[in-house]
Amino acid sequence: MKRVFLIVALAGITYANGQEKPLEPEQIEKENAATAVEEQKVAAEKSEAEIALEQGKEIVVRDTTLVYTATSQVENSGFQRTVGFDGAWKFDLDLDNREIVLTGGTLSNKGEAASNNLRLMVYLAEKPFDLNNPEFVGKVYSAIDVNPIGAGEVKSGQAYVTSWASETNPPAGTYYPYILLGEENPENQEFEVRDVKAFSNSITIQ
């Protein structure tokens, strides 16, 4: 690029002055050295694919995207008496990082007192969750603890990155996610079901 610019600049000088002004040998050597440095920088920035092509190596493209996405029903379960879900929730299962990210929905407390500690538990079941005939089937693959929610408080637009709760990844197959909201019972430290968010669409793990 510098050589091209140099020619353009010299052409301008020739046009303006009516005579050519050749570079001194020292100037030419300096410009060539600078160009060589630039070429080295460009070569260092070559991608692995470019280097592989130059060396005649085979390029193998691997699909490393192992994220499975589903969106919940907007309809609420009708289970909520105090704390519960509202609106649509998005589910992203990342098998590479062994985590599930829950986003977009709302948690609210319709009670007159602050809740106890909460926990979101993500289940994968082989059939859709039926709100009219609820069955807590499937397996818990991840969970996350959530701080108590004050009376009348609403939490919207949060992103919850859940911890992996299983020793293994889900085997290949089709699954229907649902999220269980539990509230801690301070007397026995167990989490009691407060609400469910069902997903009507499935994910298929290959």
Which pair of tokens denotes residue 10? Answer: 């010299």
Spatial CA neighbour of 139 closest among 107, 100, 106: 100
pLDDT tens digits along 165-192: 888 889 999 999 999 999 999 999 999 9
CATH 2.40.50 fits 67-205, yes or no: no
The answer to whether 23 and 31 have CB atoms below 8 angstroms apart is yes
Q: Summarize pLDDT for 34-75 with one digit per residue, the tens.
A: 666 566 655 555 545 455 555 554 444 434 458 999 999 888
Q: Which pLDDT band, with edges at 50, 70 and 90, does 105 fall under?
A: confident
Delimit the domains of the chain by residue range: 2-54, 67-205
